[in-house]
Amino acid sequence: MNFFIVMQGKTYEEAKLANIVWCSIYDNSGQTPHSWERMNEVRKGDVLFHYVKGDIIAISVAQEDAYEGENPAISSEEIGHMFQSAYEELSVPLNIKNHFESIQPLLPIKYSAFQQNGDGNQGYLYPCNEMLALKLLELIGDDNIYEENEEQLEFAIGMIAQKERNTLAPVLIETEAEAKVKIRKGQQKFKKQLAPLWNNQCALCGIELPALLRASHAKPWKDATDEERLDPYNGILLCSNHDVLYDQGYITFDGTGKIHISSEIESIDYVKFSIHDKMRVSRVEENKKYFKWHKRNIFKDNKNKREQD
C-alpha cells in the first residue's frame, strides 16, 4: 500500500460521482508534469487523500491499477491516466493550515503537496509518505470518528468501527494499521542490516548497549525512495543522544566522514553533548552520497543560509 494526495479542485464532484480519479496525460505544451505522470504509479489498494480548496475532504482506496482511458465523467474523447476509486467523504473536512504546525515537519523536501505557508501546490497527484499519512489519519479520526465529549473518547476506535452506519472508521483503522506495519518492518530491517556496518556500536562515542542505539537515516524516511529507506548505507548507528543531534541537524558528516557542528550549539557546550570538532566516523564510499545529502538538506547551518538567501 502506498499513499498519495490528489489535488482536485473543481473536478472533485464529477470524479466522486463516477468513482474515478482521472488526469490528462499532456499539458498545453505537450509535456507531462511529474504530478500527472505519477498517476502511473497507483496500484490497487493504494490510498488517496483528496484535497479541495484548502481541505482534505475525502479518502479513497484505488480499486484497480492505473491505466489509460477516457474520462467517463465528461463528454470527451481525451485519453488520460485513470482508475476506479472508492470515495469516503469526511463529515468534517481537515483544514491543512489549521494543522500545518504538526504536518509541516513530515513533508518531503521534494515533491511536497503543500507549500511552506500551508497552501496547496499546483499539480495533480503527489506522494504521501507513511508518517505523513499517519498524521493525516490521526487528525481526520479525531474530528470524524470520536465524539466531542469525554465519555465517547473513552471508547476504542475498534468498537466504533463495528457500527454499520460508520463506513469511514474501518477504512481509517485498516489504513493506519498497514502504514504502521510498513514503517515498523522497514525500520527493523534497516537497523538489522546497518548495525554490523558500524560494529554494533555508536559511531561517535562507542556505546554498545543495544537499547541505547538508533539506526539513524541520513536521508530521512519522508524524503527517501523505498529502496533508499532500506539501504543500510543510508544511515549511521548512533546512541540516542547523538541520534537526536543528527536527526535534528545539529551535527552532520561530510563526504570524508568529518563531523560538522551547527553554530546553534555553542562550543562551550560541546562537552555536554559528548561532541568535539575533531570527530570523524569511518564511512565507506556507499555512505558518501547520503552524508552529502544530509549536510546539504538537514544540517541547520545550511538551512539557515538557504533561508537568508
H or E stretch at 143 = helix 130-144
Structural domains of the chain, with CATH: 3-150+157-181 (3.10.590.10), 199-308 (no CATH)
Contacts of 106 (CB under 8 A, 6+ apart): 129, 131, 132, 135, 222
What are the CA-CA distances from residue 190 to residues 65, 73, 93 (Å)?
Answer: 29, 44, 36
At residue 163 the predicted structure's pLDDT band, cuts being 50, 70 and 90, is: very low
What's this model's pTM, rounded to 2 decimal places? 0.83
User: Averaged over 143-163, what is the pLDDT?
Assistant: 53
Q: What is the pLDDT of residues 244-269, one digit of tens each?
A: 999 999 999 998 999 999 999 999 99
Residue 146 is predicted with a pLDDT of 61
User: Averaged over 189-208, what is the pLDDT?
Assistant: 95
**Is residue 218's pLDDT more than 50?**
yes
Residue 261 corresponds to which cell in the numbers above? Answer: 557542528
Residue 309 is predicted with a pLDDT of 36
Q: What is the pLDDT of residues 164-192, one digit of tens each?
A: 446 788 888 889 999 999 999 999 999 99
Q: What is the pLDDT of residues 263-304, one digit of tens each?
A: 999 999 999 999 999 999 999 999 999 999 999 999 998 554
What are the CA-CA distances from residue 237 to residues 133, 202, 240 (Å)?
Answer: 27, 5, 10
